[in-house]
Protein backbone atom coordinates (compact mmCIF):
# COMPACT_ATOMS: atom_id res chain seq x y z
CA UNK A 1 0.00 0.00 0.00
CA UNK A 2 2.86 2.32 0.89
CA UNK A 3 4.56 1.61 -2.46
CA UNK A 4 1.35 2.42 -4.36
CA UNK A 5 1.02 5.69 -2.45
CA UNK A 6 4.67 6.57 -3.21
CA UNK A 7 4.15 5.92 -6.93
CA UNK A 8 0.98 8.03 -6.86
CA UNK A 9 2.86 10.92 -5.27
CA UNK A 10 5.67 10.65 -7.84
CA UNK A 11 3.12 10.71 -10.67
CA UNK A 12 1.46 13.81 -9.24
CA UNK A 13 4.86 15.49 -8.83
CA UNK A 14 5.76 14.74 -12.47
CA UNK A 15 2.44 16.11 -13.72
CA UNK A 16 2.89 19.27 -11.66
CA UNK A 17 6.39 19.73 -13.13
CA UNK A 18 5.19 19.30 -16.71
CA UNK A 19 2.26 21.65 -16.14
CA UNK A 20 4.55 24.23 -14.57
CA UNK A 21 6.98 24.09 -17.50
CA UNK A 22 4.13 24.35 -20.01
CA UNK A 23 2.71 27.36 -18.18
CA UNK A 24 6.07 29.06 -18.16
CA UNK A 25 6.47 28.28 -21.87
CA UNK A 26 3.12 29.91 -22.64
CA UNK A 27 4.60 33.22 -21.57
CA UNK A 28 7.67 32.89 -23.77
CA UNK A 29 7.90 34.91 -26.95
CA UNK A 30 10.53 35.28 -29.61
CA UNK A 31 12.49 38.52 -29.76
CA UNK A 32 11.84 38.83 -33.48
CA UNK A 33 8.80 40.98 -34.34
CA UNK A 34 7.04 41.44 -37.67
CA UNK A 35 6.13 45.00 -38.61
CA UNK A 36 3.01 45.96 -40.53
CA UNK A 37 -0.28 44.20 -41.21
CA UNK A 38 -0.61 40.50 -40.44
CA UNK A 39 -3.30 38.31 -42.05
CA UNK A 40 -4.87 34.98 -41.25
CA UNK A 41 -4.54 32.24 -43.87
CA UNK A 42 -8.17 32.64 -44.96
CA UNK A 43 -7.62 36.31 -45.78
CA UNK A 44 -4.76 35.98 -48.28
CA UNK A 45 -4.98 35.11 -51.96
CA UNK A 46 -2.06 32.64 -51.72
CA UNK A 47 -0.98 31.08 -48.46
CA UNK A 48 2.62 30.97 -47.34
CA UNK A 49 4.45 27.91 -48.65
CA UNK A 50 6.81 26.16 -46.27
CA UNK A 51 9.82 24.80 -48.18
CA UNK A 52 11.82 23.37 -45.28
CA UNK A 53 10.69 22.61 -41.73
CA UNK A 54 13.64 21.41 -39.61
CA UNK A 55 13.01 18.71 -37.03
CA UNK A 56 14.06 19.57 -33.44
CA UNK A 57 16.35 17.19 -31.58
CA UNK A 58 14.97 14.97 -28.83
CA UNK A 59 17.17 15.99 -25.90
CA UNK A 60 19.07 13.50 -23.78
CA UNK A 61 17.39 14.85 -20.63
CA UNK A 62 13.95 14.26 -22.17
CA UNK A 63 15.01 10.76 -23.17
CA UNK A 64 16.13 9.97 -19.62
CA UNK A 65 12.76 11.15 -18.25
CA UNK A 66 10.77 9.36 -20.97
CA UNK A 67 8.95 12.55 -22.02
CA UNK A 68 6.33 12.20 -24.76
CA UNK A 69 3.99 14.83 -26.14
CA UNK A 70 3.57 17.78 -28.46
CA UNK A 71 4.86 21.34 -28.35
CA UNK A 72 2.31 23.72 -29.89
CA UNK A 73 3.34 27.18 -31.10
CA UNK A 74 1.80 30.16 -32.84
CA UNK A 75 3.96 32.37 -35.05
CA UNK A 76 3.98 34.82 -37.91
CA UNK A 77 5.43 33.92 -41.30
CA UNK A 78 6.62 37.46 -41.90
CA UNK A 79 6.83 38.95 -45.39
CA UNK A 80 10.53 39.53 -44.63
CA UNK A 81 11.08 35.76 -44.86
CA UNK A 82 11.60 35.34 -41.10
CA UNK A 83 9.50 33.38 -38.60
CA UNK A 84 8.64 35.89 -35.88
CA UNK A 85 6.39 36.52 -32.86
CA UNK A 86 6.63 32.91 -31.69
CA UNK A 87 4.36 32.13 -28.76
CA UNK A 88 4.15 28.85 -26.84
CA UNK A 89 0.63 27.46 -26.55
CA UNK A 90 1.72 24.14 -25.05
CA UNK A 91 5.22 23.30 -23.86
CA UNK A 92 7.23 20.30 -22.71
CA UNK A 93 10.09 20.09 -20.18
CA UNK A 94 13.78 19.22 -20.51
CA UNK A 95 14.62 21.46 -23.43
CA UNK A 96 11.92 20.25 -25.84
CA UNK A 97 10.03 23.57 -25.90
CA UNK A 98 13.26 25.45 -26.55
CA UNK A 99 14.18 22.97 -29.28
CA UNK A 100 10.82 23.45 -30.98
CA UNK A 101 11.21 27.25 -30.88
CA UNK A 102 14.70 27.01 -32.37
CA UNK A 103 13.42 24.70 -35.14
CA UNK A 104 10.53 27.06 -35.87
CA UNK A 105 12.92 29.98 -36.30
CA UNK A 106 14.80 28.01 -38.96
CA UNK A 107 11.74 27.29 -41.15
CA UNK A 108 12.24 28.33 -44.77
CA UNK A 109 9.14 29.56 -46.61
CA UNK A 110 7.74 31.67 -49.39
CA UNK A 111 5.64 34.52 -47.92
CA UNK A 112 1.89 34.68 -48.47
CA UNK A 113 0.51 36.83 -51.29
CA UNK A 114 -2.35 39.31 -51.23
CA UNK A 115 -3.25 41.50 -54.20
CA UNK A 116 0.03 40.52 -55.86
CA UNK A 117 2.24 41.56 -52.93
CA UNK A 118 4.08 39.60 -50.24
CA UNK A 119 2.28 39.82 -46.88
CA UNK A 120 2.66 38.39 -43.38
CA UNK A 121 0.51 35.45 -42.27
CA UNK A 122 -0.23 33.84 -38.93
CA UNK A 123 0.41 30.13 -38.52
CA UNK A 124 0.22 27.31 -35.99
CA UNK A 125 3.08 24.84 -35.55
CA UNK A 126 3.23 21.52 -33.75
CA UNK A 127 6.24 19.37 -32.94
CA UNK A 128 5.69 15.85 -31.60
CA UNK A 129 8.23 14.08 -29.41
CA UNK A 130 8.13 10.44 -28.41
CA UNK A 131 10.35 7.69 -27.08
CA UNK A 132 10.18 4.63 -29.25
CA UNK A 133 12.13 2.25 -31.45
CA UNK A 134 13.98 3.77 -34.42
CA UNK A 135 12.34 3.66 -37.81
CA UNK A 136 13.13 0.75 -40.10
CA UNK A 137 16.11 1.22 -42.35
CA UNK A 138 15.17 2.26 -45.86
CA UNK A 139 15.31 -0.40 -48.53
CA UNK A 140 17.90 0.09 -51.23
CA UNK A 141 18.19 1.75 -53.59
CA UNK A 142 17.61 5.08 -51.85
CA UNK A 143 18.97 6.99 -54.84
CA UNK A 144 16.16 8.99 -56.41
CA UNK A 145 13.59 8.28 -53.69
CA UNK A 146 11.60 11.26 -52.42
CA UNK A 147 12.95 12.88 -49.24
CA UNK A 148 10.20 13.18 -46.60
CA UNK A 149 12.40 14.53 -43.81
CA UNK A 150 15.96 15.68 -43.27
CA UNK A 151 17.10 15.14 -39.68
CA UNK A 152 20.22 15.90 -37.67
CA UNK A 153 20.51 13.36 -34.85
CA UNK A 154 22.77 13.96 -31.88
CA UNK A 155 22.99 13.22 -28.17
CA UNK A 156 22.09 16.77 -27.20
CA UNK A 157 20.61 20.03 -28.47
CA UNK A 158 23.41 22.03 -30.02
CA UNK A 159 23.93 25.70 -29.35
CA UNK A 160 22.17 27.89 -31.90
CA UNK A 161 25.36 28.98 -33.67
CA UNK A 162 26.51 25.35 -34.06
CA UNK A 163 23.09 24.34 -35.39
CA UNK A 164 23.22 27.11 -37.99
CA UNK A 165 26.68 25.99 -39.11
CA UNK A 166 25.48 22.42 -39.58
CA UNK A 167 22.31 23.25 -41.49
CA UNK A 168 24.20 25.65 -43.73
CA UNK A 169 26.04 22.58 -45.08
CA UNK A 170 22.86 20.58 -45.79
CA UNK A 171 21.35 21.17 -49.22
CA UNK A 172 19.16 18.05 -49.38
CA UNK A 173 15.57 19.27 -49.47
CA UNK A 174 12.23 17.78 -48.50
CA UNK A 175 9.98 16.71 -51.41
CA UNK A 176 12.97 16.36 -53.73
CA UNK A 177 14.64 13.17 -55.07
CA UNK A 178 17.59 12.05 -52.97
CA UNK A 179 21.11 12.11 -54.40
CA UNK A 180 23.66 9.90 -52.64
CA UNK A 181 26.53 11.89 -54.10
CA UNK A 182 25.06 15.13 -52.77
CA UNK A 183 24.35 13.58 -49.35
CA UNK A 184 27.94 12.33 -49.03
CA UNK A 185 29.27 15.76 -49.96
CA UNK A 186 27.07 17.35 -47.29
CA UNK A 187 28.30 14.94 -44.61
CA UNK A 188 31.91 15.64 -45.62
CA UNK A 189 31.22 19.38 -45.40
CA UNK A 190 29.82 18.97 -41.87
CA UNK A 191 32.87 16.95 -40.83
CA UNK A 192 35.19 19.71 -42.07
CA UNK A 193 33.78 21.91 -39.29
CA UNK A 194 36.04 19.93 -36.96
CA UNK A 195 33.42 19.18 -34.31
CA UNK A 196 32.59 15.55 -35.06
CA UNK A 197 34.18 12.11 -35.11
CA UNK A 198 34.74 11.15 -38.75
CA UNK A 199 34.47 7.41 -38.09
CA UNK A 200 31.31 7.44 -35.95
CA UNK A 201 29.37 10.14 -37.81
CA UNK A 202 27.41 8.80 -40.74
CA UNK A 203 24.26 8.96 -42.87
CA UNK A 204 21.28 6.80 -41.97
CA UNK A 205 18.32 6.21 -44.28
CA UNK A 206 14.93 5.33 -42.78
CA UNK A 207 11.61 4.42 -44.34
CA UNK A 208 9.18 7.34 -44.49
CA UNK A 209 5.42 7.39 -44.10
CA UNK A 210 4.56 8.03 -47.76
CA UNK A 211 6.93 5.75 -49.62
CA UNK A 212 9.86 8.13 -49.36
CA UNK A 213 12.81 8.21 -46.98
CA UNK A 214 14.08 10.10 -43.97
CA UNK A 215 17.69 11.25 -44.39
CA UNK A 216 19.37 11.27 -40.98
CA UNK A 217 22.75 12.90 -40.35
CA UNK A 218 23.99 10.99 -37.28
CA UNK A 219 26.68 13.11 -35.64
CA UNK A 220 29.05 12.03 -32.86
CA UNK A 221 30.83 14.89 -31.12
CA UNK A 222 34.56 14.74 -30.51
CA UNK A 223 35.35 14.41 -26.75
CA UNK A 224 37.04 17.81 -26.48
CA UNK A 225 34.16 19.69 -28.09
CA UNK A 226 31.57 21.60 -26.06
CA UNK A 227 28.66 21.96 -28.49
CA UNK A 228 25.60 21.40 -26.32
CA UNK A 229 23.20 24.05 -25.09
CA UNK A 230 23.21 23.18 -21.40
120 within some domain: yes
What's the pLDDT score for residue 57?
80
Q: What is the mean pLDDT of residues 211-222?
A: 92
7 within some domain: no
* 147 shares a domain with 38: no
Dist CA 180 CA 171 (whole Å): 12
229 within some domain: yes
Q: What is this structure's pTM?
A: 0.51
* 17 shares a domain with 128: yes
* 125 shares a domain with 16: yes
What's the pLDDT score for residue 24?
42
- Identify the residue with better confidence: 42 or 15: 42
1 within some domain: no
Question: What CA–CA distances, in Å, run from 41 to 72, 89, 127, 153?
Answer: 18, 19, 20, 33
4 within some domain: no
Range of the domain at 164: 133-230
Q: Which of 69, 100, 132 is at the close of a domain?
A: 132
* 149 shares a domain with 102: no
* 138 shares a domain with 76: no
What's the pLDDT score for residue 132?
60
Q: What is the mean pLDDT of residues 7-32?
A: 43
pLDDT confidence of 27, banded at 50, 70, 90? very low
What's the pLDDT score for residue 7?
35
How many structural domains comprise the chain?
2
Q: Which of 117, 132, 147 is at the close of a domain?
A: 132
Dist CA 114 CA 47 (whole Å): 9
* 25 shares a domain with 122: yes
pLDDT confidence of 117, banded at 50, 70, 90? very high
pLDDT confidence of 20, banded at 50, 70, 90? very low
* 100 shares a domain with 28: yes
Instruction: Give the model confidence (pLDDT) of 38-86 as tens digits.
Output: 999 999 999 999 888 888 888 878 877 878 788 999 999 999 999 999 9
What's the pLDDT score for residue 147?
96
Instruction: Give the model confidence (pLDDT) of 137-174 as tens digits.
Output: 999 999 999 999 898 887 676 788 898 899 999 999 99
* 118 shares a domain with 24: yes
CATH of the domain at 205: 3.10.20.310
Amino acid sequence: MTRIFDLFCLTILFLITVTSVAAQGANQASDEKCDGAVYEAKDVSQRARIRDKPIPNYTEAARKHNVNGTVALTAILCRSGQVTDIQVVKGLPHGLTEGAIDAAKRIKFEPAQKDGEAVSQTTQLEYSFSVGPPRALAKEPVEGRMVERTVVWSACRYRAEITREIWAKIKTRVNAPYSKEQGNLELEAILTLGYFDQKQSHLRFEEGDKGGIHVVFVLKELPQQDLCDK
